[in-house]
Amino acid sequence: MHTPPRRLGTIGSAVTALSALLVLVAGCSAGGSSDAAGPSPASSSPTAPAPSAPSSTDASTYVALGDSYTAGPGIAPDQANAGLCGRSSANWPTRLAASLDLTLTDLSCSGATTADLSTTLGSGTVPADAGLVTVSAGGNDGGLFLSLIQACTVSVQQCSSYVDDEAPAILERTTGDLVALLRKAGTTAPGARVVLVGYPRIMPSTGTCEAAGIVAGDVTSVVTAETALDAALARAAEQAGVDYVSLRGPSEGHDACAGDEAWTNGASPKAGDGIVFHPTARGMTAVADLVAAAVR
């Protein structure tokens, strides 16, 4: 049974750590890494230029675009030359590439927004002959994820107010920006299969626990926000005409309250196994397996 925690220093420390991380990686998503150029507005136009077929497509060439849930900050060991992006050598794109014998260009970066990834697509770092492009984004758009955690550690009223009054408009913009990003990926690598990948659960559907650091009164609002983000990504994939690998169903029972079965950390991660409210090494393996099954 999940037992409710007290709203004390654990979650406050977690939010402080998460805020510090996002400030740190802002340099990456703003151009501090050679792999990710600075942010620029992503168009949400319903039309996109029709891609011309490349002279050749290399089915073994794989490009991963994503934020910290893809990069895997805090999961040892780090990738060489990852810089502030915090990419792990055990993140899910690396595991996916190994399982499918693909050559990976990992352009994931902690703190990246959809606009940042759009800039990366335009920077010339994505091979035009790529056979597979995975995209995972949206949680950082409009400060959604960090604002949610901050609001839901202040009061139940502020948590529900953010989810009900502010998050829907953010997610509406995110959907349009993701559609534009996915279409741009198809234009940049015309022969590639483009796949959008979602986010695993943080909270169980009901109840809470000391590890999660979220009080019982906030759980409904957090779950509502997680579900709404998943739905926004599903709509974006449908509108862009690409496949969507939702992690919401598969990660049921693997939330931050699931102990050894957890795919995401709560407020107190183990050293070398990810950061607060982000995937664990176990979670990265699970996501890699789910994406592999979807693209085989």
Give catalytic residues, as residue numbers. 68, 278
Bridge partners (DSSP) of residue 136 are 66
Q: What is the pLDDT of residue 81?
A: 87
Q: Are 207 and 1 in contact (CB under 8 A)?
A: yes
Predicted TM-score of the model (pTM): 0.85
**SS3 state of residue 63:** strand
Is a pLDDT exceeding 80 seen at residue 19?
A: no
pLDDT tens sequence across 268-293: 999 999 999 999 999 999 999 999 99
3-state helix vs strand vs coil in the chain, percent to 5: 45, 10, 40
Residue labelled with tokens 């409009």: 142
Answer yes or no: is pLDDT of 34 > 70.
no
Paired tokens of 61? 């060439």
pLDDT of 215 over the 60 cut: yes
Mean pLDDT over each residue of the chain, to the nearest integer: 86
pLDDT digits (tens, 9 = 90+) for 101-126: 999 999 999 999 999 999 999 999 99
Structural domains for the chain = 9-32+58-295 (3.40.50.1110)
With cut-offs at 50, 70 and 90, classify the pLDDT of residue 10.
very low
Of the pLDDT bands very low, low, confident and very high (cuts 50, 70, 90), residue 156 is very high
Q: Where are the beta strands (DSSP E) in 94-231?
A: 103-106, 130-136, 193-197
Other CB atoms within 10 Å distance of the CB of residue 190: 17
Neighbours of 53 (CB within 10 A): 8
